[in-house]
Amino acid sequence: MTTIHRGRIFHVAGSPTVHEAAQHLAYFDDGGLAVDDAGTIVWCGHWADRPIELADAEVVTYAGCFLMPGFVDTHMHFPQVNCGDSYGGGQLLEWLTQCIFPSEARFADPNYARQAAAEWCDRMITAGTTTGLIFGSQFPTAQDALFEAARVRGLRIIAGRTIMTVGPESAGPLLTSERDAIEFTRNEIEKWHPKTDAERSSALQQVAIVPRFSLSVTTTTLAGLGELYDEYRAKGVYFTSHLNENNRPGTGEIDSVKRLYEVDAYLDTYDGRFLPGSKHGGSSLLGRRSVMAHGVHCQDRELARMAETGTSIAHCPTSQLFLGSGTMPWTRTVDWGVTVAIGSDFSAGDEWFIPQVLNAAFKVHISEPGDAGLSLHPAALLFLGTLAGARALDLEDRIGNFDVGKEADFVVVDPSRWDQYGNTLRWGARPTDPELERDALLFTTIMAMREPTLTHTFVRGRRLVTADRGA
C-alpha cells in the first residue's frame, strides 16, 4: 500500500549544479510525499494537487513539521565515535597521538567494537544522516560489527577499514604489514560489497578502499591498492582518503607528503603518480566513486584533475575550524567544476548533525577574505547536505531529493521541539516577497534546527529506529 507523508516539504528537485540550486528549490507549504511498498517515491507535490490514483493511499500527517531529504555525510570516522571534543594538548599532532590513535586501538576488543558500532549507527539515525561514507576501523571484527549494525537497522553506509602501513609509535596497534593491508581490504570487499549489478542497484551497504592518507601508507601500499581497485572498480567499490587538509609550512601534512614522496602535488599520490617527480608508479584511485576529504589547499591542477575524473570533495567546515586547517575556498573550488558535498568528519568535526555543519559552512564562507566571501543561498546549503552528497557518492539516481522513482530517504523535523527555532518561525519577521519568504523559512530551518527537532528518520520508505532508544 502507498503511504502519503503529509507536511511542509523542502527539497532541491532535478539535477542542478550548486549555482542552480535556488531555481530548483521546491517548497510545498501543505505537501505530500507518496511512497510505495518498495520505498520508492511515486509522487511529491502540493496536497491539493494529489493525483486521483492516490485516493486510497494511507495518509500520515506531521502537523507543523518539515519533511526534507535525509542528510548525506560524505566524511566520518567510525572508530572516533567516542572522541568528540577531545583535547590532547591543543594541536593536531597531540590530538592524534594522545586521543585518537589510542581510542581507535580500543576497537581491537570485539565487545567494545560491537557496542561502538551500535552507538555509531544509532547516532546516525538520531541525526537524520541516512547515508554515510565512513572511514572504518583497522580491525576486521569491528568492521563486521559496523556493517552488521547498519544492516540490521536498514541504514545506508559506505565504509572501509582505515588502511595504515606506517605511522608514529602511538599508531602502532593500528598498523598492518603491506600484505595484510591488501588482504584485509580484499576480504572486506568480498564479504560486504554487493557481488552482482542487480544486488548493487538495491544495496544499502557498500565498501570503500580507504587509506587513512598518503602519510600512513607507502608507495608499495599505494601500488597494491591501485591493483586492487583495478580489480573491483567495475563492481562499484568506492575510494576515499584525506587531501590537502593542513598546510603548516615544513612539518604540515602537505609539505610532508611532497617531501616524502618527492611529488609536485599531493593528489598525484592517489592518482598513480606517487614516484619521485610525480612519475607514474601504479593505477589511479580517482574516479566517479572517489571522495577526497577537505581539499582546503588545492593547486589549480589538482582541482582540474578532480573535475576531469569526477572525483568529489567532502567539505568539512566544522573539522577545519576545530583543527585550524583553514577554509576551503568555495568559489574557486566550485568554479573548477568539482562536486563539493558536506562531511562532518566526526570526531575532528565535533558535530554529528549535518544542518549544524551547513551552519558552519555558511559562516566560514561569508567570512572568506575580500572578494572570496559569499553568502551561500539557503537552497545551496540544502543541496550541499543532500543532493550533492548523493552525486559525490554516485547515488544520484537513487537518493538526494524527492524526484519520482527515487528511494524515499527523508527526515521529519518538528520546530516546536527547539524554542529558538520554533519561536523564530512563529514570531520572527520575514520578507514579504513570497520567494524570499520561502528562502528565509529554509534558512532559519537549516541554521536553527538542532538534533532534538528531528522526530523521524526514513530510509527507502522505512522508519529507522535506534536499538536502545526505540522509536
Interacting residues toward Zn ion by CB under 5 A: 345
Q: Whose Cβ is closer to Zn ion: residue 315's or residue 456's?
A: 315
Closest distance of CB 110 from Zn ion, Å: 24
Q: Whose Cβ is closer to Zn ion: residue 245's or residue 439's?
A: 245
Q: Whose Cβ is closer to Zn ion: residue 295's or residue 415's?
A: 295
Please write down the HEC assignment for all residues of the chain: CCEEEEEEEEEECCCCCHHHHHHHEEEEEEEEEEECCCCEEEEEEEHHHCCHHHCCCEEEEEEEEEEEECEEEEEEEHHHCCCCCCCCCCCHHHHHHHHHHHHHHHHHCHHHHHHHHHHHHHHHHHCCEEEEEEEECCCHHHHHHHHHHHHHHCCEEEEEEEECCCCCHHHHHHCCCHHHHHHHHHHHHHHHCCCCHHHHHHCCEEEEEEECCHHHCCHHHHHHHHHHHHHHHHHCCEEEEEECCCCCCCCCHHHHHHHHHCCCCHHHHHCCCCEHHHECCCCCCCCCCEEEEECCCCCHHHHHHHHHHCCEEEECHHHHHHCCCCCCCHHHHHHCCCCEEECCCECCCCCCCHHHHHHHHHHHHHCCCHHHCCCCCHHHHHHHHCHHHHHHCCCCCCCCCCCCCCECCEEEECHHHCHHHHHHHHHCCCCCCHHHHHHHHHHHHHHHCCHHHEEEEEECCEECCECCCEC
Closest distance of CB 172 from Zn ion, Å: 20
Q: Whose Cβ is closer to Zn ion: residue 345's or residue 396's?
A: 345
Rounded-to-integer distance, Cα 402 and Cα 365, Å: 28
Q: Whose Cβ is closer to Zn ion: residue 345's or residue 394's?
A: 345
Here the cell at position 413 is 523535523
**Partner residues linked to 60 by β-bridges:** 5
Closest distance of CB 76 from Zn ion, Å: 8
Q: Whose Cβ is closer to Zn ion: residue 267's or residue 275's?
A: 267
For Zn ion, the nearest residue by Cβ is 345
Closest distance of CB 75 from Zn ion, Å: 6
Closest distance of CB 79 from Zn ion, Å: 11
Residue with cell 592518482: 271
Q: Whose Cβ is closer to Zn ion: residue 28's or residue 322's?
A: 322
Closest distance of CB 80 from Zn ion, Å: 8
Closest distance of CB 452 from Zn ion, Å: 26
Closest distance of CB 267 from Zn ion, Å: 16
Closest distance of CB 53 from Zn ion, Å: 46
Q: Whose Cβ is closer to Zn ion: residue 50's or residue 77's?
A: 77
**Partner residues linked to 61 by β-bridges:** 6
Q: Whose Cβ is closer to Zn ion: residue 268's or residue 345's?
A: 345
Q: Whose Cβ is closer to Zn ion: residue 345's or residue 439's?
A: 345
Closest distance of CB 293 from Zn ion, Å: 5
